[in-house]
A and B are shown apart, each in its own frame.
Chain A
Amino acid sequence: GESVGLHLPTLSVQEGDNSIINCAYSNSASDYFIWYKQESGKGPQFIIDIRSNMDKRQGQRVTVLLNKTVKHLSLQIAATQPGDSAVYFCAENRPRSDSSYKLIFGSGTRLLVRP
């Protein structure tokens, strides 16, 4: 069936290094993608989003890249900090005629930042 999935379940990086978290999606009708960060015991927290008519969007220390040809999404975190340690989910936004949408989440990647 259609799904959003992640290549790496756990990513360990040295503090100060850059992190890259990858995600694959399979629904070509999805028009909007979001990266969420989830810390232990908390709800998903918005990081950055991108529309399907873009291939790159930058935020503060984060960049999202979208490759529609291969249905691939990535999150790049520059100068990773201990506070970045969390589980990261990509989510695709599937449109409906009433604009209600729903988010389909990937299985998540745990980012561990080594001091």
Chain B
Amino acid sequence: EPEVTQTPSHQVTQMGQEVILRCVPISNHLYFYWYRQILGQKVEFLVSFYNNEISEKSEIFDDQFSVERPDGSNFTLKIRSTKLEDSAMYFCASRDTGGWGNEQFFGPGTRLTVL
């Protein structure tokens, strides 16, 4: 069964450093998403991406964040200068246009720890 994959599973970085979180969405999907989950809290929407551009972004997704689909398979989230409060699980999700519903399939997540 196709699945969303994410790398790395855990990223440790120093405050102020840049990180790139990588995702490979399900191959025939067209909509891509990043969500964040701070430990013990709910999953929060960050950004949606469709047709090679951002569809919507939340207030969390400030100028320090960017997304890119550099090729036909990868979808990345870049944080330019990490802050302590960026420590969280980051989930990538993708969705097809068809199907009964609009289910988003989630990856296993990347745990980002900012020291």
> Are A102's CB and B108's CB within 8 A?
no
Q: How many B residues are at the interface, by size bracket?
A: 20 to 34
In whole angstroms, what is the CA distance A14 to B2 when docked?
34
In whole angstroms, what is the CA distance A100 to B33 when docked?
9
Instruction: Check A45/B106 contact, CB under 8 A, given A32-B101, A103-B45, A105-B44.
Output: yes
With contacts defined as CB atoms under 8 Å apart, how many contacts are there between chain A and chain B in the complex? 68
User: Closest approach, in angstroms, between the C-beta of A115 and any C-beta of chain B?
Assistant: 25
Chain A 8-45 interface 0/1 with B at a Cβ cutoff of 8 Å (1 = within): 00000000000000000000000010101000011111
Contacts of B105 on A, CB cut-off 8 Å? 46
> Are A98's CB and B55's CB within 8 A?
yes
Q: How many A residues are at the interface, by size bracket?
A: 20 to 34
Instruction: Check A107/B101 contact, CB under 8 A, given A42-B108, A96-B55, A96-B56.
Output: no
Residue B25 at the chain A interface, CB threshold 8 Å: no
In whole angstroms, what is the CA distance A91 to B91 when docked?
15
Contacts of A75 on B, CB cut-off 8 Å? none
Instruction: Check A43/B109 contact, CB under 8 A, given A100-B50, A102-B48.
Output: yes
In whole angstroms, what is the CA distance A78 to B96 when docked?
30
User: Closest approach, in angstroms, between the C-beta of A86 and any C-beta of chain B?
Assistant: 14
Residue A81 at the chain B interface, CB threshold 8 Å: no
Residue A114 at the chain B interface, CB threshold 8 Å: no
In whole angstroms, what is the CA distance A51 to B101 when docked?
7
Contacts of A43 on B, CB cut-off 8 Å? 4, 91, 106-109
Partner-B contacts on A (CB < 8 A): 32, 34, 36, 41-46, 49, 51, 89, 91, 93, 96, 98-108
Residue pairs across A and B with Cβ atoms less than 8 A apart, 7 shown, are A43-B91, A43-B108, A43-B109, A46-B103, A49-B100, A101-B48, A101-B104
